[in-house]
Amino acid sequence: MPEAAIETAPVMRDATKEIGFGDAVREAIAEEMRRDPTVVLMGEDVAEAGTTFKVLKGLVEEFGPGRVIDTPISEVGFTGLGVGAAMTGMRPIVDIMFGDFLMLIMDQIGNQAAKIHYMSGGKWNVPMVIRATMGATRRSAAQHSQSLHAWPSHIPGLKVVVPSTPADAKGLFKSAVRDNNPVVFFEDKISYTKVKGLVPTEEYLIQLGVADVKREGSDITFIATSSMVQTALGAAKMLEEVGISAEVVDPRTMWPLDEETLINSVKKTSRCIVMDEGYGRYSVAAELAQTVQEGAFYDLDGPVRRLCAMHVPIPFSPSLEDVTVPTEKQAFDLARSMCNR
Amino acid sequence: MTTATRMASDPAMNIGKEKLLRLYERMVAIRLFEERVNDLYTRALMPGLAHLYIGEEAIAVGICEALRSDDYITSTHRGHGHCLAKGATPDLMFAELLGKEAGYCKGKGGSMHIADPATGNLGANAIVCGSAGIATGAAYASKYLKNGRVAVCFFGEGALGQGILYEEMNLAELWKLPVIFVCENNSYNEYTHFKESTAGDVAARAQAFGVATETIDGQNVRTVYQTASKYIERARRGEGPAFLQCITYRYHGHHVGDIARSYYRPKAEEQEWVTEKDPVTLHGQWLMDNGMADRAVLDAIQEKLVIEMDAAVEFAVNAPYPDPSRVTEDIYA
């Protein structure tokens, strides 16, 4: 049975059309390519196939194969090429399909793209976007299911975006293309089919480094990223039925990080659960939790807790895979126990 | 054979006297620069590592003299020669090597990361073969933006072990990108002879992609210049990349501190290259043999450069270090 689309709260009052998560990314790319002829998109099967997720369908028809470029299966090769092109007048968008393949290109993004501006004393810029995906439960097993956004977040010089709604994805992607730094943009694969939402028909951008309160509440804060925003919103709804008011805050970008919004939310609610689909050990969730512990320590009723991917390679079998990702029920139970209700 | 017929038969005569003298002057500049690096390092005035280019000068000079000033290069950890050959000034180079604010990268890059947009230098790279993608990407941008620029990717034969080189050669030939892959084969991957690390035939690796390939004497600056000119103009015409293997030798160790080298290469071998195949000596002799210069002219070139290099060292030694508060600048554009 196909899963029903989850409606997400519109982030802007004048939102007037509903689109899917992948549509949002495609619209952002198309708008930026129309605006700036130096923007090109390259990756494996991005042209006629529109990527393996079919989210870029139609771009090659509008912009031609000179700007929507099918590459060899050569992630290191075309990412490195993107770095050089970005330094010399282009704004390439490099598509690496599965976030797991970040491990293949770590030298190019971590040692090259991230450091060139600094190593050159600010003389060279690398304005490029590296598109990647994240998220499990597609039965894709250990090498196509990981959420590795912590990896680029660890490296000074990179910016990292993890949108959770179509409106955020579109506005943040456009900002990423216009940014003069390398930006790694993570799209949750499940959200392509599961998440729809309202977006403004007028052009808009969302600044990198500004968190968004997806739901206001007073008893506990969920700081949730990417797919976990939907899970947290689901848990918040369940908590409402037992009289607990949960706030859901989406940092939207891992770096720059809007520490203030996270800390202020926790100061208000005094309790916090960080939800992230990456691994918990040495992780995004650890960093977000520590940010809150340092910033809101005297307002906390207890330790900040984390709900993350189980620390195992993502298994194939549905019965195994499903237990590796935090669920609404887990979030509900943990929040309830923290609130003693 | 008369002198006149010998001269007419040497294709290098077509280069022209002015350029031929400039090739000599640029090689001497790099030699003198590197001798001062060695001196600064051994006097503990230079932090970090110093990988000297002495012995390989003909390659950087021959290639870069065939480039336009707006063409691009990427360099390596052994990159001082490439940067100077592409137009870097020694005072700002020395300042960077000493970690001074006045340096090319404000002291943030150092010896292995000299970069300079004004001379098309996309940066020296301390990851072996780390810049193959950058050079190929610059060539891609040149083609897309139709600005006629060519990119040269310098790397040592140690980079032949890195997969990215082959990914970039594939893309470059597939898309006919104006990039020249210049393999400076000095025989040693750090402390290991390349025959112990490199299977098959080096040129055949590039030929397998259909990339135009030539193996040349990297100690003959005229040969390097003329071969490079041919492939650079070919690339500029849109006919695609080239792979030049330049046979050369690293006179010093892998870095300045690598002094006891007999366990990996014989002294006699080093001596043979230094005395028989020195690119500066050979070209100087050729200039004299062909009536382009006499000893006095060559000496004058050297004397002028000695003054310039000594002044550059003095500038760098006396220049201030960056204020520690600068450490968080330039992380993001």
Spatial separation of the C-alpha atoms in residues B19 and A81, rounded to whole Å: 33
Q: Residue A47 falls within a domain, yes or no? A: yes
Cis-peptide, bond into residue A256, ω within 30° of zero: yes
Q: Residue A170 falls within a domain, yes or no? A: yes
Q: Residue A148 falls within a domain, yes or no? A: yes
Supply the range of the domain harboring residue A264.
212-338
| CATH number, domain containing residue A40 | 3.40.50.970
- pTM for this model (two decimals): 0.95
ipTM: 0.95
Spatial separation of the C-alpha atoms in residues A62 and A64, rounded to whole Å: 6
B6 CA to chain A: closest CA distance, Å? 45
Residue A141 vs residues A102, A316, A319: alpha-carbon distances, Å? 16, 4, 12
Q: Does B130 touch chain A (CB under 8 A)?
A: yes
B26 CA to chain A: closest CA distance, Å? 24
Q: How many domains does chain A have?
A: 2
pLDDT in tens, chain B (333 residues): 445 555 557 999 999 999 999 999 999 999 999 999 999 999 999 999 999 999 999 999 999 999 999 999 999 999 999 999 999 999 999 999 999 999 999 999 999 999 999 999 999 999 999 999 999 999 999 999 999 999 999 999 999 999 999 999 999 999 999 999 999 999 999 999 999 999 999 999 999 999 999 999 999 999 999 999 999 999 999 999 999 999 999 999 999 999 999 999 999 999 999 999 999 999 999 999 999 999 999 999 999 999 999 999 999 999 999 999 999 999 999
Is A7 designated active site?
no
Asked if residue A84 lies in contact with residue B136, where contact means CB atoms within 8 angstroms, the answer is yes
Supply the range of the domain harboring residue B262.
14-319
pLDDT band at A10 (very low <50, low <70, confident <90, very high): very low
Q: Does B148 touch chain A (CB under 8 A)?
A: no
Please check whether residues A195 and A77 belong to one and the same domain.
yes
Predicted pLDDT at A16 = 81
Spatial separation of the C-alpha atoms in residues A129 and A83, rounded to whole Å: 10
Please check whether residues A225 and A135 belong to one and the same domain.
no
Q: Residue B38 falls within a domain, yes or no? A: yes
Q: Residue B326 falls within a domain, yes or no? A: no
Please check whether residues A195 and A221 belong to one and the same domain.
no
Please check whether residues A195 and A217 belong to one and the same domain.
no
Predicted pLDDT at A5 = 45
Q: How many domains does chain B have?
A: 1
Predicted pLDDT at B2 = 47
Which residues in chain B are closer than 8 Å to A156, comparing Cβ atoms?
331
Predicted pLDDT at A13 = 56
Which residues in chain A are closer than 8 Å to B167, comparing Cβ atoms?
72, 74, 76-78, 80
Nearest CA in chain A to B111: A119
The mean of the pLDDT values for chain A is 95
- Among B131, B167, B181, the strongest candidate for a mutation testing the A interface, having the largest count of A CBs within 10 A, is B167
Helices A166-178/A21-35 angle, 10° precision: 30
Which residues in chain A are closer than 8 Å to B76, comparing Cβ atoms?
none
Is B168 in Cβ contact with A116 (below 8 Å)? no
Catalytic residue (one of A27, A32, A117, A144) = A144
Asked if residue B256 lies in contact with residue B50, where contact means CB atoms within 8 angstroms, the answer is yes
Q: Is the per-residue pLDDT at A15 higher than 90?
A: no
Q: Does B330 touch chain A (CB under 8 A)?
A: yes
Nearest CA in chain B to A116: B123
Please check whether residues A195 and A216 belong to one and the same domain.
no
Q: What is the dihedral of CA A215, A218, A219, A225, to 10 degrees?
A: 30
Q: Which among A200, A222, A238 is the end of a domain?
A: A200
A91 CA to chain B: closest CA distance, Å? 10
| CATH number, domain containing residue B203 | 3.40.50.970
| CATH number, domain containing residue A248 | 3.40.50.920
Q: Residue A1 falls within a domain, yes or no? A: no
Q: Which among A141, A171, A200 is the end of a domain?
A: A200
Q: Does B263 touch chain A (CB under 8 A)?
A: no
Q: Residue B61 falls within a domain, yes or no? A: yes
Asked if residue B215 lies in contact with residue B242, where contact means CB atoms within 8 angstroms, the answer is no
Spatial separation of the C-alpha atoms in residues A104 and A116, rounded to whole Å: 19
Spatial separation of the C-alpha atoms in residues B281 and A57, rounded to whole Å: 62
Q: Residue B214 falls within a domain, yes or no? A: yes
A187 CA to chain B: closest CA distance, Å? 23
Is A75 designated active site?
yes
Q: Does B115 touch chain A (CB under 8 A)?
A: yes
**DSSP notation for B105-141:** TTTSS-TT---BGGGTEEEE-SSTTTTHHHHHHHHHH
Q: Residue B145 falls within a domain, yes or no? A: yes
> What pLDDT, in 10s, does the model give residues A103-112?
999 999 999 9
Helices B57-64/B279-289 angle, 10° precision: 60
Q: Residue A91 falls within a domain, yes or no? A: yes
* DSSP for residue B292: S
Q: How many helices (H) and strands (E) does chain B have?
A: 12, 8
Please check whether residues A323 and A228 belong to one and the same domain.
yes
Is B174 in Cβ contact with A80 (below 8 Å)? no
> What pLDDT, in 10s, does the model give residues A216-252?
999 999 999 999 999 999 999 999 999 999 999 999 9
Which residues in chain B are closer than 8 Å to A90, comparing Cβ atoms?
137, 140-141, 144-145
Please check whether residues A241 and A173 belong to one and the same domain.
no
Q: Does B50 touch chain A (CB under 8 A)?
A: no
Please check whether residues A219 and A174 belong to one and the same domain.
no
Please check whether residues A195 and A220 belong to one and the same domain.
no
Please check whether residues A220 and A174 belong to one and the same domain.
no
Please check whether residues A254 and A296 belong to one and the same domain.
yes
Q: Which among A200, A224, A246 is the end of a domain?
A: A200
Q: Residue B2 falls within a domain, yes or no? A: no
Residue A3 three-state SS: coil
Please check whether residues A142 and A252 belong to one and the same domain.
no
A154 CA to chain B: closest CA distance, Å? 13
Is A116 in Cβ contact with B123 (below 8 Å)? yes
- Among A73, A88, A125, the strongest candidate for a mutation testing the B interface, having the largest count of B CBs within 10 A, is A88
